[in-house]
Homo-oligomer: A and B are copies of this chain.
Amino acid sequence: MAFYVQKYGGTSVGSTERIKNVAKKVAKFYAQGHQLVVVVSAMSGETNRLIALAHDIQENPDARELDVMVSTGEQVSIALLAMALMTLNVKAKSYTGSQVRILTDSTHTKARILSIDEARIRADLDAGFVVVVAGFQGVDEKGSITTLGRGGSDTTGVALAAALKADECQIYTDVDGIYTTDPRVVAEARRLNTITFEEMLEMASLGSKVLQLRSVEFAGKYKVKLRVLSSFEEGQGTLITFEEDENMEQAVISGIAFNRDEAKITVLGVPDHPGIAYQILGPVADANIDVDMIIQNVGHDGLTDFSFTVHRNEFKNTINILKEKIQPHIGARDVLGGDRIAKVSVVGVGMRSHAGIASKMFRVLAEEGINIQMIATSEIKISVVVDEKYMELAVRVLHKAFDLEQAL
């Protein structure tokens, strides 16, 4: 008898038929005597429908009101799934984020979870209920509805698993696990049985898109066992582990991640003195823009160039902030940028104990004539920014060069 938090995404609950299928899956676990909290997203398409309605009314929808609207998507899903469970004679009860009381900060449309009141859910579990919780949403201290931003249902699942001390958080998706890279780009991509938390974190932040970044961070922080599985097929999926097992010694590289959602920005001729990074990135952070790669090279003649990447949607906005608020202020020579770029990364904990990964990566790309625009490294990944048009080629040749199609 175990206690699972299961999360089903929008595709898994995309129609009443699919909701009935999810109910059958849940009922099977229930019949085996497991305790279950089920987190669901809005039916696929519903969130976009609601956002489109909002844009029909207001060009930049008010964030507080947008959250009021968009949160209805999951509210419909939880009720439907609870009903579907009842038709299978499973006792079920739904909760919105506000009803659980998933307390968040007040950053509407991208709120962060502060705490979860587990009392009600615990009481319902003890009374034999399957508890169905709306993903993606919470409530702030003033009682206003908040949402966690796209993909936030994963975070809800992990946060509930942490708060309730569940044995495992199972994320059901439309893929059957984490692959060495996207099978649509490399046909030989292979499903991993396990991946370390750190690798997963790099894979998610680099755009592997199976799990949302924040949920993986959360899982790591609270040591929640996280498993990615398919809603539609049987299978064990991929378990995200927190310890490296012996296999890891052999698999130097676990996967190739890529991402074309970013844009690069360079501030040229920046005075090379302490505090300059903060002067540039402070106003960007104040505008709630997330920065990914940050590169500053050794300067000369008292000047240096400062580069970073942001989400492509924030490209123009960031350029404007830099030109208006920062460039005149710090006396930089110019602000340049481009959004036709892609980031390609090799990820693997084995890198720690194996030298030469970076040089192999650069050699393979050079052999294909792919120019590298930016480089950033961490202990377990190496990322390069290349022209967008070379992205798929780069992923394919790297996947092959690191023997990722071979089962261990």
Contacts and interface: CB of A to CB of B under 8 A. Distances in A.
Interface of A: 16, 19-20, 50, 53-54, 56-59, 61-62, 64-66, 68-69, 71-72, 75-76, 78-80, 82-84, 86-87, 93-94, 96, 98-99, 120, 143-145
Nearest to A84: B57
Main secondary structure of the interface of A (DSSP, over half): helix
Contacts of A76: 50, 53, 69, 72
Contacts of A19: 57
Given A75-B72, A99-B143, A65 B83 contact: yes
A56 B81 CA distance: 11
Contact of A66 (B50, B57, B64, B79): B79
Contacts of A65: 79-80, 82-83, 86, 94
Contacts of A64: 93-94
Given A16-B53, A80-B53, A87 B68 contact: no
A62 B50 contact: no
Determine which residue in A16, A65, A99 has the highest number of CB atoms from chain B within 10 A of its CB, and name it: A65
Determine which residue in A20, A54, A62, A64 has the highest number of CB atoms from chain B within 10 A of its CB, and name it: A62
Contacts of A78: 68
A50 B120 CA distance: 27
A87 B54 CA distance: 12
A137 to B, nearest CB: 12
Contacts of A87: 57-59
A16 B98 CA distance: 27
Contacts of A79: 54, 65-66, 68-69
Contacts of A72: 72, 75-76
Contacts of A96: 68, 145
Given A58-B86, A69-B76, 10 more contacts: A16-B53, A54-B79, A57-B80, A58-B87, A66-B79, A68-B75, A68-B82, A71-B75, A75-B75, A120-B143
17 contacts: A16-B53, A19-B57, A54-B79, A58-B87, A59-B87, A62-B86, A65-B79, A65-B86, A68-B75, A68-B78, A68-B94, A68-B96, A69-B75, A69-B80, A72-B72, A72-B75, A98-B98
